Amino acid sequence: MATRANQPKIRWDRMVHFNTSESYSDRRILKITFRVCIGVWLDCARERLQGGGVDLSILQRPRRIRRSENLRRLVRETRLHTEDLIWPLFVHAVDTDHSVESMPGVSRRSLDSLLVACEEAQQLGIPAVAIFPCIEGSLKNTKGTYAHKDSNILYRAVREIKKRFPELLVITDVALDPYTSHGHDGILSEDGASVENDTTVEALCRLAVQEAAAGADIVAPSDMMDGRVGEIRRALDMAGFQETAIMSYAAKYSSAYYGPFRDAVGSQIGKDAISKATYQMDPSNAREAIREVLLDVEQGADVVMVKPAGPYLDIIRSVRDAITIPLAAYQVSGEYAQIHAAAKLGWLDYERTRDESLLAIKRAGADMILTYFAPEVAARLRN
């Protein structure tokens, strides 16, 4: 530690300027006084650095309002509510439930089991469920025509839910990937080299109208075809479904986080197939998300969505700042699975990580969150 003996010499005469008219003795007294003051200040500073008595004159102390749980609650800026949650559910035309191995606690449900889940959602106060059909492979083809069959389990499920629980909001997915044999969200060109935009949009319009006719409160196009929101809006209006809302997957990224979902609905594509990056967004792009969102708002979307959520909090914030309509975010299957996996290995506290992940999405600007954690979080919030 430095001592006064080995400290560099300070030229006090250069630091303090004196009036030349003062006497020599006055100037000397002032110099001595100044040196004493500086010495005292240095001694105090050394004591503080050595852990001695500290008496800082700090006016702003943010820790004051963190010192108790009630204080922290009082000043909390963001809160998660049950009303913010949407529960995604999978249904198949089988009498038993099949667990999704990559998504602990999630199953492809029978229709009866789906209705039990919907009853649970209503009892917990969850306002909406999003229904995704799991279609048997033998019913799929390259154009996804089973999507329009009256026997489609999706239509049966929606009708039964609205019959039993009319107040529970039902959101349906408008996309062809559950129905196509190649796993893409649309119809392929004749040479199989690309997903045809306009032909796919025509099929999506028909699908959206059929979902609305079955009783869907909100249709949610997730395909990322250009212009589909405006065409679906016109199709719904012409069919008399002016009150059916559109939740657009406006900024849906070509993400690696969708893997477990594709296991659940059986929409995996082959390794040598066309990349979904030809229609879903590049994870590198942020400004493009604003363009996509504004286009969907202009075309009549009632709610827009960012997907995935957790890895794209910056996009959620940017979109929130750019629009005034409601914003949804989808905490996707990969986000759900990685929290479960890390918690199982003892690397993370399951409940705290789960809750923090949802709070971060809400804090970034999402008005509503699609999450597989919905029932357990709703139960915690209720208690």
The residues annotated with a catalytic role in the active site are 252, 307
Element (H, E) at 306: strand 303-307
DSSP secondary structure string for all residues of 309-335: -GGGHHHHHHHHHH--S-EEEE--HHH
253's torsion region: left (phi>0), alpha (psi -120 to 50) or beta? beta
Residues 6+ apart with CB under 8 A from 132: 88, 89, 90, 91, 173, 178, 264, 265
| DSSP-derived secondary structure letter, 3 | -
Tokens of 110: 């029978």
CA atoms of 363 and 324, how far apart (whole Å)? 16
Tokens of 381: 């919030």
CA atoms of 210 and 202, how far apart (whole Å)? 13
Residues 6+ apart with CB under 8 A from 50: none
Measuring CA to CA, how many Å separate 23 from each of 6, 11, 29, 30? 32, 20, 10, 11
Longest dimension (CA), the chain: 109
Nearest to 273 by CA among 177, 363, 353: 177
Nearest to 157 by CA among 122, 120, 123, 110: 110
Q: Which residue spans within 116-189 are E strands per DSSP?
A: 128-134, 169-174
3-class DSSP state of 24: helix
Tokens of 361: 């999405």
CA atoms of 36 and 31, how far apart (whole Å)? 9
Residues 6+ apart with CB under 8 A from 316: 306, 309, 327, 329, 361, 364, 365, 366
